[in-house]
Structures are given as structure tokens and as C-alpha cells.
């Protein structure tokens, strides 16, 4: 390369560089939004904790003093469930969300349940789906209004189902999910310690159960799930497929619980014409809709029955009992533990009844786990008083002071509702509804002390007390303005 060529090349480089710099100067750079930084005082809270809003630091610190925090969705959650030595399983996912939905699983995991229970059933083509009842009509409805038995549905039919809103029974623009979708959702949202309780509702053959277990291993991993079922043969097949997984035998509901459930369903359907037209089918679904649940009630709480059950299912197994059955056979826990088995309880008659029965027990008599339609906070607080004010923090805001003033039995599941009583001195109790924070107001004592005298002997001027009692009528006649 000649010197002239080198000089020309260097000159061109300078010109190009200058043009680039000038072109950059002509364009105004786009303003960059500063990333939101969580206040340092809240950096210790979980990732879903609310960190923006009026007096949010004071609010979170006041809640933290009670082992609680406010999440981004306005719900109160526990900072730690270490004080609650019992496995809390979300029955069909978060009880506030539609059954068989994406949100039911995700919300339960976000609420720090130890495990999430879902039901899986088979369609006629062998597809596993997340569905509780043997037929549509209660939690899911076909857009045509036609009722289907799950075992006769195609994948296309299932995709055309709509979910019901739990509060209004209105149909939602949302469909139930397949088992594969449920497993993927669980895997995406779970913490390492959280497990999926897969309750099998269908009579499945060995290959269908192999397919199910393979899906769970693929999406969740061996340590992230366990099974429960009311059919011992189904669990026995699963033990051959997976020698390590926990298997929970689901003993049928106590006869009294079944009758109470049927009675409640009869009362409930009277308010919904659609339910009334399909009363028999809904009651069938209420009794869980499969021949196993309609069979004669059998009790497996004796030592002999538990031993046979353990021989069939292996050491990593347990029995899941209706709370009525558990209360009638409290010795079942010690019998099961002697065989290395666990005991869980559930209820067909609502979580409030379930909890009232658990509250009757000494801590050492409680089951190993509970399957509930309630939040971990409510279970932990009622059974173990896990949200006790430490009184280490002095709030500065009105809301913070209100939180600090709330008694130990305040129902923080209803926190947003409770805020409506903030200025009135009331709160919502876990057990007794609306209550006064300070109790009955002290009766005002009439002041009989004479007013003090000033140095010149004149009394202090005070507002006159007005006598409200009626006396004799006084007539006043005003002069006529036109009179001369």
C-alpha cells in the first residue's frame, strides 16, 4: 500500500467518524424510565409483597410485627409458617378461584400452601384432565347446555367447556385445563418444598397410569408430587409403577357427612333454576360421582386394617379421613405412626366445621396434614396462634396504628373489608364477626366540681348546659311592621 493510499484511507476514516458523531448529535435520545427500586426497609419481604402506595413502609412494618405482609393483590399472607407444624393442602387449588383453572393452582402456590390437591380424570380418548365431578354441570358447563359424562367426552368436547364463577355461578370465558397443563402450571409456580397431590378419580388401567406418572416425572420431578385415591387397586398399580412416591388412601366420607352434604345441596339448588332442573345429577356429583364413592362405607382405622393397607401400598403411604371419622377414632394416628404411615383429614361439610373439630384437639392429637378450603394464615392462626403481635415496631401512620391496635383474633383474610371499620374502632374477628377493639365504652361520669375562681373572684366562663326538657309554652307576640 502506497503512502498516498494510506493518507486517503486515513482521511476517509476521519470523515466517516465525524459524520457518525454529527448524526448522533442531531437525534435526541429516548428518555429511559428509571427502574423502580424496592425501598430498603422492605427488601427483606417476599417478591410478591406490595412495595408502592401511601404509607406502604409503615403498613408493611406494622404487619411484619405480626408475622404478616400485604401482597400485590391486596391479600395478607404469613411471612413464615414455621410455627405451624402441619401439612396444609389446598383442596382443588385456591378455594377463591374457579375449580380446574390455571388460577386455582397458581394462587394456591403463591399463598404458600404446603401442597396443592387437584383431581384428574380420563376422557374417552385416554387424555388426562383436571376435573373433579364425573360429569359436567356444577363447576363446568358445555356452551350448548348439554350435560356430558367425562368418560364419554372427546378432547374437543372438553375444550368447549366453560368454568363457573364460584360466587355468582355465572359462566366465565375460561375453560378447564388438562392434566398436562395443570402439571406445567404447578412446575412454573412452585417452590422446591411445595408438592402436588394428584387425586385419581377414574378407573385407569396400568398403561394409563404409566402415562400419568411419566408426565408428572417429566414436568415436576419425582420429589414434587404424590398420589391419593379412594380405590386401593389404583394405588397398588401405582406402587408397581413408582416404588418411591407417597400414596394416600382416601377413605370414603362418614355417612353423617354424606347425608349433611346431600341436605345442603338440596337447599342450595333452590336458588338456581339451572341447578334445580338438574338436582339429581348434582347430588350425584356431590357424592363424588363414581361407583367407588357410592359403595358401602368401610372403616379402615383399626390396627389390622391399617396393617393390611400398608402391606398393599408400602411404607411410604397413609390414610386420608373425613374429619368425623378421625374424631371418632383418634387412636388412628398412633396406630398409623407405628406402621410409618401418615394421617390426613378432610371435610365434606365445609372448612369451618373442619376447623372447629380440629380446635377441640390437643396439639399432639392433630393429624399430620389437612386438606382445606381456607388460607394457610387462617389454619395456622386458629390452631397455633402463629400471628402474634411482637410489639417491636411503633407505627406512624393511621393505618399502621390501626393494624397494631387489632386484637390477636383479628381476621386478616378479610383485611380489605376490615379497613372500612378503621375509623369506627371495630374489627372482624376470626370467630365472632364484628367486634369493638376497645370493648364497651366507659360510662361518662357527671362533673359535679364547681368551676374554679379567678383571682378577682370571677368564675371561669364555661359553655352553658342547655336544658332539653320541655316546660310551659311561652308565647311571643311581635309587633306588626305596618303598624304606625
Count of other CB atoms within 10 angstroms of residue 130: 26
Q: What are the tens digits of pLDDT across the range 137-161?
A: 989 999 888 899 999 999 999 999 9
Is pLDDT at 17 greater than 50 in this prediction?
A: no
Is pLDDT at 210 greater than 80 in this prediction?
A: yes
- Could you give the percent of the chain with pLDDT greater than 70? 77
Is pLDDT at 405 greater than 50 in this prediction?
A: yes
Q: What are the tens digits of pLDDT across the range 347-372?
A: 999 999 999 999 999 999 999 999 99
- Helix pair 179-189, 102-110: axis angle to 10 deg: 20
Domain 83-384 homologous superfamily, CATH: Phosphatidylinositol (PI) phosphodiesterase (3.20.20.190)
Per-residue pLDDT band for 32 (boundaries 50, 70, 90) equals low
Interatomic CA distance for residues 419 and 313, integer angstroms: 50
Per-residue pLDDT band for 413 (boundaries 50, 70, 90) equals very high
Mean per-residue pLDDT over the chain, rounded: 83
Is pLDDT at 7 greater than 60 in this prediction?
A: no
Q: What are the tens digits of pLDDT across the range 42-88?
A: 999 998 999 998 899 999 999 999 999 999 988 999 998 888 999 99
pLDDT recorded at residue 387 = 92
* Strand partners of residue 45: none
Per-residue pLDDT band for 21 (boundaries 50, 70, 90) equals very low
R_g (Cα) of the chain, nearest Å: 33
Is pLDDT at 381 greater than 50 in this prediction?
A: yes
What is the per-residue DSSP string for 85-135? Answer: -SEEEEETS-TTS-TTSHHHHHHHHHTT-SEEEEEEEE-TTS-EEE--SSB
Q: What does the domain layout of the chain look like in residue ranges?
A: 37-82+387-439, 83-384
Is pLDDT at 476 greater than 60 in this prediction?
A: no
Is pLDDT at 129 greater than 90 in this prediction?
A: yes
Q: Among all chains, which residue has been given the C-alpha cell 454529527?
A: 22
Is pLDDT at 131 greater than 90 in this prediction?
A: yes
Is pLDDT at 23 greater than 50 in this prediction?
A: no
| More confidently predicted of 395 and 8 | 395
Distances from the Cα of 334 to the Cα of 318, 331, 343, 395, 415, angstroms: 12, 6, 9, 46, 39
Interatomic CA distance for residues 302 and 324, integer angstroms: 15
Backbone angles phi, psi at 154, to 5 degrees: -90, 170
pTM of the model: 0.78
Q: What are the tens digits of pLDDT across the range 259-287?
A: 888 877 776 654 554 444 444 444 444 44
Q: State mean pLDDT over 337-351.
A: 96
Is pLDDT at 299 greater than 70 in this prediction?
A: yes
The bridge status of strand 195-200 relative to strand 225-229 is: parallel
Q: What are the tens digits of pLDDT across the range 171-194?
A: 999 999 999 999 999 999 999 999
| H helix or E strand, kind and range, residue 343 | strand 342-346
pLDDT recorded at residue 33 = 56
pLDDT recorded at residue 29 = 57
Long-range contacts of 287-295 (CB under 8 A, 24+ apart): 287/258, 287/261, 287/262, 288/132, 288/133, 288/134, 288/201, 288/230, 289/133, 289/134, 289/135, 290/134, 290/201, 290/202, 290/203, 290/230, 292/230, 292/231, 292/252, 293/230, 293/252, 293/253, 295/252
User: Taking the alpha carbons of 451, 456, 461, 465 in that order, is the dihedral positive or negative?
Assistant: positive
Amino acid at each position: 500500500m502506497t503512502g498516498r493510499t494510506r493518507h486517503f484511507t486515513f482521511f476517509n476514516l476521519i470523515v466517516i467518524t465525524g459524520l457518525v458523531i454529527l448524526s448522533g448529535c442531531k437525534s435526541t435520545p429516548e428518555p429511559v424510565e428509571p427502574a423502580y427500586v424496592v425501598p430498603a426497609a422492605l427488601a427483606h419481604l417476599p417478591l410478591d409483597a406490595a412495595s408502592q402506595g401511601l404509607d406502604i413502609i409503615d403498613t408493611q412494618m406494622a404487619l411484619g410485627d405480626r408475622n404478616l405482609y400485604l401482597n400485590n393483590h391486596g391479600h395478607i399472607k404469613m411471612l413464615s409458617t414455621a410455627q405451624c407444624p402441619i401439612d396444609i393442602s389446598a383442596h382443588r387449588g385456591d378455594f377463591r378461584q374457579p375449580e380446574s383453572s390455571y388460577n386455582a393452582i397458581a394462587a394456591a402456590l403463591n399463598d404458600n400452601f404446603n401442597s396443592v390437591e387437584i383431581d384428574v380424570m380420563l376422557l374417552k380418548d385416554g387424555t388426562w384432565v383436571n376435573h373433579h365431578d364425573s360429569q359436567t354441570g356444577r363447576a363446568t358447563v358445555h356452551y350448548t347446555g348439554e350435560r356430558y359424562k367425562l368418560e364419554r367426552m372427546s378432547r374437543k368436547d372438553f375444550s368447549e367447556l366453560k368454568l363457573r364463577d364460584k360466587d355468582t355461578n355465572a359462566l366465565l370465558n375460561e375453560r378447564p385445563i388438562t392434566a398436562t397443563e395443570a402439571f406445567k402450571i404447578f412446575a412454573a409456580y412452585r417452590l422446591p418444598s411445595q408438592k402436588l397431590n394428584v387425586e385419581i378419580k377414574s378407573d385407569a388401567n396400568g398403561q394409563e397410569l404409566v402415562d400419568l406418572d411419566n408426565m408428572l416425572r417429566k414436568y415436576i420431578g419425582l420429589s414434587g408430587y404424590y398420589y391419593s385415591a379412594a380405590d386401593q387397586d389404583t394405588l397398588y398399580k401405582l406402587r408397581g409403577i413408582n416404588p418411591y412416591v407417597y400414596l394416600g388412601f382416601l377413605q370414603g366420607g362418614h355417612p353423617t357427612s354424606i347425608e349433611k352434604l346431600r341436605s345442603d345441596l338440596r337447599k342450595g339448588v333452590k336458588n338456581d333454576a339451572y341447578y334445580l332442573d338438574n338436582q339429581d345429577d348434582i347430588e350425584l356429583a356431590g357424592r363424588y360421582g363414581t361407583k367407588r364413592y357410592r359403595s358401602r362405607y368401610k372403616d379402615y382405622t383399626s390396627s389390622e386394617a391399617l396393617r393390611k393397607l400398608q402391606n398393599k401400598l408400602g411404607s411410604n403411604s397413609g390414610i386420608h379421613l373425613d374429619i368425623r371419622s378421625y374424631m371418632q377414632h383418634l387412636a388412628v394416628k398412633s396406630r398409623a405412626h407405628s406402621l410409618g404411615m401418615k394421617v390426613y383429614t378432610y371435610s365434606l361439610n365445609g372448612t369451618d366445621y373442619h376447623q372447629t373439630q380440629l380446635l377441640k384437639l390437643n396439639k399432639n392429637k392433630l393429624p399430620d396434614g389437612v386438606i382445606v378450603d381456607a388460607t394457610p394464615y387462617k389454619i395456622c392462626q386458629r390452631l397455633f396462634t402463629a400471628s402474634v403481635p411482637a410489639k417491636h415496631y411503633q407505627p406512624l401512620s393511621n393505618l399502621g396504628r390501626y393494624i397494631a391496635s387489632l386484637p390477636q383474633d383479628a381476621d386478616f383474610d378479610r383485611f380489605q373489608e376490615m379497613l372500612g371499620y378503621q375509623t369506627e374502632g371495630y374489627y372482624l374477628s376470626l370467630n365472632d364477626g364484628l367486634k369493638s377493639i376497645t370493648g364497651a365504652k366507659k360510662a361518662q361520669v357527671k362533673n359535679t366540681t364547681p368551676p374554679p375562681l379567678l383571682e378577682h373572684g370571677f368564675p371561669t366562663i364555661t359553655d352553658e348546659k342547655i336544658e332539653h326538657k320541655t316546660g310551659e309554652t311561652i308565647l311571643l307576640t311581635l309587633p306588626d311592621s305596618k303598624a304606625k
